[in-house]
Amino acid sequence: MPAWTLAIIPIVIAFLWLLFRTKKTHKQQQSSLSSEYFKGLNYLLNDEQGKALDIFVKLVESNWDTIDTHFALGKIYRKNGEMDKAIKIHQGLIARPTLPERYRSKILLELGYDYLGAGWFDRAEGLFKEVLIQDEKSKEARHNLILIYQQEKDWYKAIDIAIDLFSENPSVIGPMIAHYYCELADISGGKGDISQLENLAYKALRYDASCVRASILLAEQASAAGDDKKAIKIYQSIEKQDPESMMLVIDSLIRCYTNLAWQEKLYEYLTGLQQRHENLFLQNVLADVLEKSQGKQAAIEYLSGKIKQQPSLAGLQRLISYKQKTADADKVFDDLTTAISIMRQDSIEYRCQKCGFSSNTHYWLCPSCNNWGSVKPCVVEPGKLA
Ligand SMILES: [Zn+2]
């Protein structure tokens, strides 16, 4: 018996449910219906799908209430990756001259899913658009069109559709639209069109005031244009948008302060930031700043104190490397440093807040669950010592 026949169980359930439902009203009609249905099921179980489909299509024409069985069957084929069979079912339905209008958009949606599954995006797009003509309010069609445009990186089209959904669910759709504008801003930046880049980044912020990515784009732009003061202001504003994301910009922020030779202000700012957000691991960053402004000894003293309050592999590694250079310690230190740096390379630095996907690389769009802006720096350093 082919393994997929197990998948027929839902069809049998749907079928029994139909039998039960029709029993009370059309007793006679139902008995011939049920014998035909059993025949169809039998073909299915014997893996003769062509014959089974012929019977089901005839049945649906005599009683459109049985259409749910077709949908269930189509879904199973799709789940098994047999898109051709799912397409055949839904195309068969749509071609029926007796098809009642009320089922048309549902079938088009199903067919759209089949095409999506088969990777035929332009055909799927056509169908979902057709659903919108039939049923102007269809959210499902809109969401699928958005997925297609996102896949094709057609950000303007994605924005057009998403804006229709915005007012109903601003907290979910707003961040999506903001990321589309950021994608466009990135493209404009690549072409050197700075005013367009800024324009688009501000649009992103209008749809999502917490869009860290838009702030980063604006700050990078300001810094590239030589306005480090403005860049610092924007980078710092990210703390209000999402404190954890400060870790994404800390190096750039330090570079701006350094360009202005504001070492003391930088130290002050970072100390405050660390106090406001204990979970941000800034000890090595602060040690760096201290080393540059007050020398190695100051950095060592700071780290030796910190490492006891907030033990971390990164801090330990840094401390060892300092001691090694100053106190001429033996080769053990060398090996330790190497071992720790290997451990740290393996550690996960970014994690998706929605699905738990983790990675060493930062993504704006989670490759696992397809959510925008959900991949964030890990707040508790994975290599942290207990
Ligand atoms: Zn995710």
3-state SS string over 315-330? HHHHHHHHHHHHHCCC
Q: What is the pLDDT of residue 123?
A: 94
Phi first, then psi, for residue 94 (nearest 5°) are -65, -25
Q: How far apart are CA 93 and CA 99, in angstroms?
A: 7
Q: Please answer whether residues 201 and 185 qualify as being in contact, where contact means their C-beta atoms are separated by less than 8 angstroms.
A: yes
Interatomic CA distance for residues 335 and 324, integer angstroms = 11
Whole-number Å distance, alpha carbon 256 to ligand 1 midpoint, is 32
What is the predicted pLDDT for the residue at 328? 52
Instruction: Output the CA 374–ligand 1 centroid distance in Å.
Output: 6
Cα dihedral 85→87→92→96 (10° resolution):
160
Q: Tell me the CA–centroid distance for residue 213 and ligand 1, in Å.
A: 17
pLDDT tens readout for residues 206-255 = 999 999 999 999 999 999 999 999 999 999 999 999 999 999 999 999 99
pLDDT given for residue 32 in this prediction: 63
Residues 6+ apart with CB under 8 A from 51: 43
Distance 356 CA to ligand 1 centre (A): 6
Place of tokens 């688009």: 200
How many other CB atoms are there within 10 angstroms of residue 143's CB atom?
15
Q: From the CA of 361, how far away is ligand 1's center (Å)?
A: 13
Ligand 1 centre distance from Cα of residue 373 (Å): 9
Which pairs with CB-CB distance under 8 Å and at least 24 residues apart come from 346-350?
A: 347/313, 347/381, 347/382, 347/383, 348/378, 348/382, 349/377, 349/378, 349/382, 350/375, 350/376, 350/377, 350/378
Q: How far is the CA of 35 from the centre of ligand 1 (A)?
A: 48
Rounded to whole angstroms, how far apart are CA atoms 216 and 221?
Answer: 8
Å from CA of 365 to ligand 1 middle: 8
Tell me the CATH architecture of domain 3-151.
Alpha Horseshoe (1.25)
Per-residue pLDDT of the chain (386 residues; tens, 9 = 90+): 455 555 566 666 656 555 555 544 555 555 566 777 788 878 877 877 778 777 777 777 777 877 888 888 888 888 888 898 899 889 988 888 888 888 898 999 999 999 999 989 999 999 999 999 988 889 999 999 999 999 899 999 999 999 999 999 999 999 999 999 999 999 999 999 999 999 999 999 999 999 999 999 999 999 999 999 999 999 999 999 999 999 999 999 999 999 999 988 999 999 999 999 988 878 888 988 888 888 888 888 888 887 777 777 777 778 777 766 655 555 556 666 766 666 666 566 899 999 999 888 899 999 999 899 999 988 655 444 43
pTM passes above 0.85: no
Distance 239 CA to ligand 1 centre (A): 22
> Counting every residue, how long is the chain?
386
pLDDT at 373: 93
CA distance 74 to 82: 9
d(CA 259, CA 349): 28
CA of 11 to the centre of ligand 1 (A): 33
Per-domain residue ranges of the chain: 3-151, 227-280, 282-346, 347-386
CA of 366 from ligand 1 middle (Å) equals 5
Tokens at residue 340, please?
């720790």
Q: How far is the CA of 351 from the centre of ligand 1 (A)?
A: 8
Give distance in angstroms: CA of 50 to centre of ligand 1. Answer: 40
Distance 375 CA to ligand 1 centre (A): 7
